[in-house]
Structure 1
Amino acid sequence: MTKRDKELSLEQREELLRTLKARFEKNLNRHKDLEWANVQAKLEANTEKMWSLNEMEGTGGEPDVVGYDKKTGEYLFYDCSAESPKGRRSVCYDREALESRKKHKPENSAIDMAAAMGIELLTEEQYRELQKLENFDLKTSSWVQTPANVRKLGGALFCDCRYDTVFMYHNGAESYYAARGFRGSLRV
């Protein structure tokens, strides 16, 4: 995909900004002490990042600002949909896992989808931070970045929230389920 393919039309950018602003204003608990005008200015200066946010939105992620990195001057967006984004479920962990399946292959992998969207899977730490804002994945689960030593042995990690507790589990990286997808992060 070329850089030109990752550009939104003026109408698409305006629609995305309206959606993000409404979500920002509705969920002030996720980004205390941050102002929308500053976020919008950063977004308007980073059209490729807007394309990635649009991809997050289009797959059901409902991205929202969850923080600000004072060192880099970047706003941090996470998928904040109540459940794992619907347009990103039924995927195995990565390309290697996808290619290892002999039968009933899923259409894609979480790592490949995230890369194509220009985002990263949440880490376990980021997932736990997100859960401090409100409860997510009460009925679904989300793949998270997996350490190389676990992946080398064929496994991958995922998280969910049950019984007011965040759980991290493992599964074969080639597994996929209708209720498991992935949440992404993007720095703007």
Structure 2
Amino acid sequence: MTKVDNISNNKELSLEQPEELLSVLKARYENNMHRHEGLEWAKVQAKLDANTEKLWSLIEMERTGGEPDVVGYDEKKDEYIFCDCSAESPKGRRSICYDHEALEARKKHKPENSAINMATAMGIEMLTEQQYRELQKLESFDLKTSSWVQTPEDVRKLGGALFCDCRYGQVFVYHNGADSYYGARGFRGSLRV
């Protein structure tokens, strides 16, 4: 069983939560039109209204500091793509190692959780390196922090994991032991609705 500290186990939403979330998402959407040019909020909200089970995941993204916003639309699947757009790696998802295997392997000074465990518990996907690079084209993120990204299996089998950040106007990809964790490293996630 995975450890899911910091994630609400109660997926029941109060009557106020969806309304409050939609208000926050709409305001963020309107204040950041460069992230979703050509997309209409009314259509995004219609998708959210039709997929209320996704609201819990968006609430968790918001609660952990991700500041989710619409960053794209997949025409083939008819899905809007939400992504964490906080300036720095979400505060409620830092000081975590890469995955459950790394968490279990650590004998001393274990972090509270892992990025993969948290993403799974939240019902979101951790960004791939490519998705991270696409996000950085919208604006500069992680100028002071870094974010774990999905790691190729061959790298992970050797004990490593990948993370990214943005410095000097460039996206950098690095490696570290999957069991490492730092106060300035978390992860960014995405959700399709």
Question: 1:177 is matched with which residue?
Answer: 182
Q: Decide which of 6, 10, 18 is 2:11's aligned counterpart.
A: 6
Unaligned stretches of 5+ in structure 2?
none
The alpha-carbon deviation at position 45 of structure 1 amounts to 1.2
Does residue 64 (structure 1) correspond to residue 64 (structure 2)? The answer is no
**1:105-125 Cα shifts (integer Å, max 9, x gaps):** 000000000000000100000
Counterpart amino acid of 2:180?
S
Q: For residues 13 and 23 of structure 2, what CA distance do their matches in structure 1 show?
A: 14
Q: For residues 164 and 8 of structure 1, what CA distance do their matches in structure 2 show?
A: 40
Question: 1:105 is matched with which residue?
Answer: 110
Question: 1:165 is matched with which residue?
Answer: 170
The alpha-carbon deviation at position 6 of structure 1 amounts to 1.9
The alpha-carbon deviation at position 44 of structure 1 amounts to 1.1
TM-score (norm 2): 0.95
Q: For residues 13 and 68 of structure 2, what CA distance do their matches in structure 1 show?
A: 17
Does residue 27 (structure 1) correspond to residue 37 (structure 2)? The answer is no
The alpha-carbon deviation at position 48 of structure 1 amounts to 1.4
Q: For residues 122 and 146 of structure 1, what CA distance do their matches in structure 2 show?
A: 10
> After superposition, where does 1:142-157 map in structure 2 within 5 Å?
142-157=147-162
Unaligned stretches of 5+ in structure 1?
none
Q: For residues 53 and 151 of structure 2, what CA distance do their matches in structure 1 show?
A: 26
Question: 2:139 is matched with which residue?
Answer: 134
| More off after superposition, 85-94 vs 8-17 | 8-17
Q: For residues 52 and 105 of structure 2, what CA distance do their matches in structure 1 show?
A: 36
**1:83-112 Cα shifts (integer Å, max 9, x gaps):** 000000000000000000110000000000
CA contact under 8 A between 1:7 and 1:48: conserved in structure 2? Answer: no
Q: For residues 90 and 148 of structure 1, what CA distance do their matches in structure 2 show?
A: 22
TM-score (norm 1): 0.97
Q: CA RMSD in A?
A: 1.2
- How many residue pairs get aligned? The number is 186
Does residue 18 (structure 1) correspond to residue 31 (structure 2)? The answer is no
